[in-house]
Amino acid sequence: MPKETYDPARIEPYWRARWDEDDLYRAVDFDESRPKWYALVMFPYTSGDLHVGHWFAYTGPDVHARYRRMRGYNVLFPFGFDAFGLPAENAAIKDGGHPADYTAERMERMLAQLRTLGSAFQWDRLLATSDPEYYRWTQWIFLQLYKNGLAYKAKAPVNWCPKDQTVLANEQVIDGRCERCGTLVVKKELEQWFFRITQYAEELLSFKGLDWPEKVVTMQTNWIGRSEGMEVVFTALTKDGGEEKMPIFTTRPDTLFGVTFMVLAPEHPLVERVTRDDRRAEVDAYVEAARNASDIDRQSTEREKTGVFTGGYAVNPVNGEKVPIWVADYVLMSYGTGAIMAVPGGDERDFEFATKFGLPIREVVSPTGEASAELTQAWVGEGTLINSGRFDGLVAKGPAIAEIAAWAKAQGWGQPKVTYRLRDWLISRQRYWGAPIPIIYCPDHGAVAVPEADLPVLLPRDVDFKPTGASPLATSAEFVNTACPICGKPARRETDTMDTFVDSSWYYLRYTSPHYSDGPFDRRAVDYWMPVDQYMGGIEHAILHLLYSRFFIKALRDCGVLSFDEPFTRLRNQGMIVFGGAKMSKSRGNVRAPDEMVRTHGADAVRLYMLFIAPWSEGGSWYGEGIDGTRRFLTGVHFLATKTYPPDPVEGDSTQERGLVRLTHQTIKSCTEDIEAFKFNTYVAGLMKLRNALQDLHASETARTGAYRRAIDAMILLLAPAAPHLAEELWRATGHEYSVHQERWPDYDESLSAADEFELVVQVNGKVRDRFMLPVGTDEDRVRQTVLARPRIVGLLNGGQPRKVIYIPGKILSIVL
């Protein structure tokens, strides 16, 4: 082993300072001479120190961005902080500080750590969403949505976390619990601000032109939850003898003859009017109890069905039949019309309900076309209609739906209808550490938008922000009391702040022109840089953040502020680094910091280690071992480039030399393909293979040749994205001009990279019996002769002739005896 002369502690700070000084990674606005490439990592919360999970997440993208620069792109690769929100606020509450101070201190620490990583982030574009110069424009965007009817205030039952004392968006409720603290979420009726994302439900279902992981597309599609069906109008008979329309949503109008009862959601306004007096007490008690169950629990198939009879009836439009109306919480007010027709013969939930309460079950779809003796469960499969009057015999679902829908339409009691699960985005938060909603309430003029010239509405510093359930800003008289922008009379400010997902829905636009002060962004810069070419981040943002961002772009487009449709063209998700069986995260207390490793082994070794420990898109377990191996690898590269680089190479044509040329081209090819595909671990493995080959040759004749020299040059260039400091150092040591990071990525010659041998597999009667190497281009006759002369095969043939020989060129020769 060569004596270690590689000294990262010396070279790394030196080159970093030099790059900073030269602004080496600058993204050049409006450069038309090169193609642009916007590479974006999801920005972090200011939650504390960076741990190895962050480094794992950022190192791969850094390699990818650096590689793109070397491919001749004008790369934008910015960084910032998602600085508002509960992490900072809760930490401040716990430690007795102020969220603003906490955030500032955390950012500074995280930045210092990040700088030692030697990443190519463009620090002059750094932003933090809690900066008034940023949230001024978050507020401005709110106003554009408001003026275009895309932001509105409404009373709504909201998800309320009793522990965090705040409203949560649907997306932040996981299995009925608060996403952050795990507390059971309850329902509360409150006046809240919403963004009208449902207006874009249909457009958000199209992922045309996007190169996104299938999994994310599926998750978003399911979240939006498009359902095609019909609205059918039943007639409810009210308790005072009147009639009222009772529309329901169904995806199975072909089962209309199987309706044996109806169900209203407990919150449905009709409950009041159909409930008979003698049923009132029981119904009221049920409705009250249902209020606090979460939608998720209510829909759970595990939970036993509950419900009560209202005493009222509805009339089925297909046959005039009177069916009882029940109230049950498995029907949600927020979906369809909040009322259903129950078909126990065709729907599992209705079957369970009917069985429990002794309600009739009628078979209307039969797999055989004949009535079954007894139904033991709902039939949801294919079949033909029975007990359905003149529609008997029609094939269920497709044709039967078409016929009944046409009839319903002609009769005027049914309409095709598309329903979505997606709800409008609730953005009000009764918390302190967020962007104030820029609205003023005037006794005469109602809700009035803060004039754009008065933005930002500054978040006051001296506010008691401990959660009480009321908005902390309401306790600040100075903040609340203001004048109406229209009439000047005393008025009050809105005291809710915005969900932090609002801040993160547009930060990538701000990066294009972070110092622009006439608007949220310079339109020219956005037109030049957007959309993001490559977005990289965790799968945990598959729904919320990505969906909201897509909505923002479409909404801003419709407000006339920009002119494209999608924010992120290509998306790749990294896997998670787990430690002790759980995702590494501060809230779980199982974080490991890379700082010590950087001090002892240098950033390049840690970077390489991060790339190597697990496939980037899959993640893996953290063991913290093996960094010495990557360090040794770098030491070896250092030795080869500084001690064995031939000053006056000779050109030759030995087999060894040709072999090295081939390996060099193969390595360039595989490294290129691996980086493109985010397979950073095999990219590093490829570099190691080349290093090993050079190590084996370094004392041979070949080490004096041009082929050897070019192999070292290629190795340094290929290493540059992964170990930027060492590559820079070695580029200089081998007599090249600064900077290796402005060099072109090496090209490979396909013919030179091609292997000159291949492995032939020999099968006899379907079993693999032999394998050996043959020169590429060996013709079929020669392959046969060689195989049939192999001793193993001769033995198996035992003097006989094969019945059949099949050759798959370059791969398999199959013999049948």
Q: Contact residues for ligand ANZ (CB under 6 A)?
A: 227, 249-252, 255, 265, 331-332, 335-336, 338, 340-341, 343, 346-347, 419
Integer Cα distance of 814 and 659 in angstroms: 31
Integer Cα distance of 705 and 734 in angstroms: 15
Residue 339 C-beta: closest distance to ligand ANZ, Å: 7
**Is residue 47 classed exposed, middle or buried when 0-12, 13-18 and 19+ CB atoms within 10 A define those classes?**
buried
The answer to whether 236 touches 323, Cβ cutoff 8 Å, is no
Query: How far lies 115's CA from each of 12, 110, 307, 505, in Å?
Result: 11, 9, 61, 26
Q: Nearer Cβ to ligand ANZ, position 5 or 222?
A: 222
Integer Cα distance of 786 and 758 in angstroms: 14
512-516-522-524 Cα dihedral, nearest 10 degrees: -80
Residue 255 C-beta: closest distance to ligand ANZ, Å: 4
Joined together, the tokens standing for residue 724 give 């930027």
Show Cβ contacts of residue 209 under 8 Å, excluding neighbours closer than 6 positions: 566, 569
Q: Nearer Cβ to ligand ANZ, position 336 or 746?
A: 336
Integer Cα distance of 374 and 372 in angstroms: 5
698-703-706-710 Cα dihedral, nearest 10 degrees: 0
Q: Nearer Cβ to ligand ANZ, position 99 or 346?
A: 346
- Side chain identity at residue 212, one-letter code: W
Nearest Cα to Cα of residue 715 among 674, 784, 677, 666:
666
Burial 439-477 (b: 16+ CB within 10 A, else e): bbbbeeeeebbbeeeebbbebeeebebebeeebbbbbbe
**Which residue has the closest beta carbon to ligand ANZ?**
346
Q: Nearer Cβ to ligand ANZ, position 331 or 663?
A: 331
Nearest Cα to Cα of residue 286 among 339, 325, 330, 329:
329
Query: How far lies 148's CA from each of 152, 195, 498, in Å?
Result: 10, 11, 18
Residue 554, SS3? Answer: helix
Residue 335 C-beta: closest distance to ligand ANZ, Å: 4
DSSP-assigned letter for residue 45 = B
DSSP-assigned letter for residue 312 = E
R_g (Cα) of the chain, nearest Å: 34
- Which H or E run includes 246? strand 243-250
Joined together, the tokens standing for residue 439 give 């609205």
**How many CB atoms within 10 Å of residue 368?**
9
Show Cβ contacts of residue 361 under 8 Å, excluding neighbours closer than 6 positions: 260, 344, 345, 351, 354, 355, 375
Residue 208 C-beta: closest distance to ligand ANZ, Å: 24
Residue 280 C-beta: closest distance to ligand ANZ, Å: 23
Q: Nearer Cβ to ligand ANZ, position 335 or 551?
A: 335
**How many CB atoms within 10 Å of residue 724?**
29
DSSP-assigned letter for residue 703 = G
Q: Please, what is the end-to-end C-alpha distance for the chain in angstroms? A: 54
339-342 and 261-264 beta bridge pairing: antiparallel
Residue 203, SS3? Answer: helix
Question: Which residue is associated with the tokens 């009793």?
Answer: 162
Residue 318 C-beta: closest distance to ligand ANZ, Å: 13
Residue 346 C-beta: closest distance to ligand ANZ, Å: 3
